[in-house]
Amino acid sequence: MRAPGSELPIVLEDVRYGVPGVMILDGISLTLMSGAPTVLVGPNGSGKTTLIRLAMGLIEPESGRITWGGIPHTAPQRRAIVFQRPVMLRRSAAANIEYALARAGTARSEWGPRTGELLALVGLAGLGERAARRLSGGEQQRLALARALARDPEVLFLDEPTASLDPAATKAVEDVIRAVVARGIKVVLSTHDLGEARRLAGEIVLLHRGRVIECTPAEQFFAEPKTEAGRQFVAGELLL
């Protein structure tokens, strides 16, 4: 059943996370509010994926504090995530969505209509009976989006959702993301693709070497970055 309270804002206070010998995130303080998409940008290894996993609640910080709607340690009730390489359950496309609906506590009588609606939303109507693992990469990514949306999330995390997709598949996924945003769902997305960040972001969080370098409205970030790292990123220079 649904948790009654909102899971937003998600507040990270001085969060640190590392593995032996490497500090991946070092003193991250960030607030994710409802509204336009927040896009995490930065080079590979900057900590984008780890930050998303922390904010989703899949891993615990070594130190610092994370709260969801003011509450720490809450299981993901109205949070959903699409991983960079989503894993399809060994079932049909429709059954993948039905599985998520069941886990979210949706009444069985609603599974059929909701599955049809979600498949249509992501442009996979007619492919419901196809084995999920036999879909193309782009189709699997859109099915993963539909499966995440089956949880009726308040916030949706997308970890480099278009990495390794061709332009047509990327456009299809971005169209779905815009439709999701239009439904009032908070989207937090990571990418190292400058163009994608420009197309989708309402707010930019620039990560570099495990730290937040800039957190600013997208328009301002692209017009007038405040830091040298931000300027390099916007200019398309290699940010090492």
Residues lying near other proteins in the complex (CB under 8 A) are found at 56, 58, 75-77, 80-81, 83, 86-92, 95, 99-100, 103-104, 131-134, 151
Q: Which of 219, 229, 184 is nearest to 41 (CA)?
A: 229
Q: How far is the CB of 198 from other proteins (least distance, A)?
A: 28
Shortest CB 85 distance to other proteins, Å: 10
End-to-end Cα spacing for the chain: 45
Residue (38 or 77) nearer to other proteins, CB: 77
Judge contact between 203 and 215, C-beta under 8 A.
yes
- At position 35, the amino acid (one-letter code) is G
Minimum distance of other proteins from residue 130's CB (angstroms)? 8
Q: Which is nearer to other proteins, 15 or 100 (CB)?
A: 100
For residues 102 and 215, which CB has a smaller minimum distance to other proteins in the complex?
Answer: 102
Least distance in Å: CB of 228 to other proteins?
35
Q: How far is 152 from 79, CA to CA, in rounded Å?
A: 8
Alpha carbons 183 and 53: distance in angstroms, whole number: 23
Closest contact distance (angstroms) between CB of 133 and other proteins is 3
CB of 74 to other proteins, least distance (A): 10
Q: Is the CB of 97 or the CB of 229 nearer to other proteins?
A: 97
Beta-bridged to residue 186, according to DSSP, are 155
Give the C-alpha separation, 187 to 164, whole Å. 20
To other proteins, the closest distance from the beta carbon of 86 in angstroms equals 7
Both tokens assigned to 6: 């909102």
The β-bridge partners of 32 are: 10
Distances (CA, A) of 103 to 31, 119, 122: 28, 18, 20
Nearer to other proteins, 60 or 224 (CB): 60
Judged by CB, which is closer to other proteins: 154, or 214?
Answer: 154
Cα–Cα distance measured from residue 181 to residue 175, given in angstroms and rounded to the nearest whole number: 10
Query: Between residues 69 and 76, which has the closer beta carbon with respect to other proteins?
Result: 76
Does residue 11 contact residue 64 with C-beta atoms inside 8 Å?
no
Place of tokens 């993901």: 76
